[in-house]
Amino acid sequence: MKHLFSIVFLILFTGYSAFAQAPDSIIFNNGNYIVGEVKSMDRNVLSIETDYSDDDFTIEWDGIKEIYTKTFFLITLSSGDRYNGNINSSGPGKLSISTDDGQNIEVNPEEIVFLDDIDQGFWSQVYASVDFGWDITKANNFRQYSMRSNLGYIAKRWQLDAGYNLLKTQQDDVEDIHRTDGSLTYKYFLPHDWYPLVSVSLLSNSEQQLDLRTTAKLGMGNYVIHTNSLYWGFSAGANYNDERYSGGTTADRSSWEGFLGTELNLFNVGDLSLMSQFIAYPSFTESGRWRADFKFDMKYDLPLDFYVKLGYTHNFDNKPAEGSSKNDYVFHTGFGWEW
């Protein structure tokens, strides 16, 4: 009897210790529960790390009945408000946010559109992705290489996002085709999903004889819709455009432009996500000139953070360099990994 009591006590103590060491717990709609450390919630999917699995457990946000956390998060609401703190269920269909400045804010679960564990420091707020494409044929010794990449950091009030894309085509007896572009964008988040933005981008493009186009944008944006399934926003402002051409047929030029853009992201379609972006640039200093950029990406998530992507990019200029095309476009298919 004494030995039986000792065994029972040991089991209970071990179970209690395991639960006590796990800071967060989740109760599902079907009554099951899990304990561990919540890492993030993005695009309607919550990720929690447990001691008994090498891989993080994921569940859709609307499949959770109750949640209790000690982990400290960067929290974004559909209203655009942002907080640092933890979240706990406070009643049926209600969550309480305990912020770092002592506030207690009650919200509905669907109002929370983003969580990120910031207890782990700088690297927990970094995100990145890279994918590659490669085509080769025997005819004319054709070879094409492509790459798309993204690196960013998100904090409570600001976000920094960088991208770099490359396309190169080679074949016998034909001049090489190349396209390279990169960008760096800074946003500072204000209430109600407004944000000022500063962006610098570079483009080199053989189709339009662009040795280098450098643009610098300054403007304001707003997310009109921001939910767990999509966000849609607009931005507008001024843009400085400096162009250097190859070929010697067109003089280099600089101009001031306006810009008006819109972006739509859909990311709660199973493992599929869609992104489209359109920006128009009417010129202030070159009469009758206007440009436009369009981008569309379709990504399908695979296990272990791998994915396959289909992308399309189109650049239009109604007054391009002499002898070059008004349009340049790229289709991209790639296999990649995101962090």
CA–CA dist 23, 36 (Å, integer): 6
Phi, psi of 52 (to 5 degrees): -105, 15
Percentage with pLDDT > 70 across the chain: 91
- Mean pLDDT value of segment 216-224: 96
Task: Return mean pLDDT, the chain.
Answer: 86
Contact (CB, 8 A) for 46 and 58? yes
Is 8 a residue whose pLDDT tops 60? no
The H-or-E segment that residue 21 falls in is helix 2-21
Q: What is the pLDDT of residues 253-310, one digit of tens each?
A: 999 999 999 999 998 677 889 999 999 999 999 999 999 999 999 999 888 889 999 9
Domains of the chain: 2-119 (2.30.30.100), 125-338 (2.40.160.40)
Per-residue model confidence (pLDDT) at position 150: 94
Contact (CB, 8 A) for 108 and 95? yes
Residue reference for tokens 């010697």 = 248
Q: Count other Cβ atoms within 10 Å, centred on residue 236.
A: 16
Per-residue model confidence (pLDDT) at position 12: 41
CA–CA dist 124, 309 (Å, integer): 25
Q: Which position has the higher pLDDT, 14 or 119? A: 119
- Mean pLDDT value of segment 214-237: 94
Q: What is the pLDDT of residues 192-218, one digit of tens each?
A: 889 999 999 999 988 888 899 999 999
In this prediction the pTM is: 0.78
